[in-house]
Structure 1
Amino acid sequence: MNDTRQLLVFPDRDAAEEVAEELSARWPELGDIEVARDALAGEDDAEDAQWVVAVDPPEDGWTPAQLGALDALASDQDGWREES
């Protein structure tokens, strides 16, 4: 089982908030899901900021199916998943 915090990265705030709501509805046991703005390293321009949805693992860790669902949710909003 994977027990690593997952980061879903998006180009805009609306996409990040929509995915956070979907995650809360689908897996309420995940608790609070953070949405934060993250400037790209070395970039000062606010337009280069990305939005990140940080999701801590469930008590039993992530299953491959859950990680696949996270990938699909991110991809549907032009985002991607990273492990923290």
Structure 2
Amino acid sequence: MSDVRHVLVLPDRDAAEEAVEALGERFGLPEEPELVRDALAGEDDAEDAQWLVVVEDAEGRLDPRVLDEFAATWDGWREEP
């Protein structure tokens, strides 16, 4: 089975940090998700950034639909691969 990576897009750093903590608690992840700031094209202001939470799912055990609902808790979404 190939490695699966899920990317959750969240509106701000606080939401992303909360989501990282909640992901570990809810799904018992073997490693902490990576938090990445994604500046929107052409924007210099830190307020105009999305935050990405990258979740490695080597065993493919996370249900994408559940992650969609999870990200929506923070007004975010899961990127389709």
Which bin holds the TM-score, normalised by the shorter protein?
A: 0.7 to 0.9
Q: CA distance change for structure 1 residues 58 and 25 in 2, over 3 Å: closer, same or farther?
A: farther
Count how many residue pairs are aligned between Structure 1 and Structure 2.
81
2:12 corresponds to: 12
Cα deviations by residue, 1:37-57 (Å, 9 ceiling, x for unpaired):
110122222211111111011
Q: Is the 8 A contact 1:37 1:49 kept in 2?
A: yes
Name structure 1 gaps, 5 residues minimum: none
Contact 2:35 2:52 in 1 (8 A): yes
Q: Which amino acid aligns with 1:70?
A: L
Which position in structure 2 is the counterpart of 1:81?
78
3-state SS of the aligned residue for 1:70? helix
Is residue 30–residue 55 contact of structure 1 (8 Å, CA) maintained in 2? Answer: no
Q: Percent identity?
A: 56
Structure (1/2) with the larger helix percentage? 1
TM superposition score normalised by structure 1: 0.79
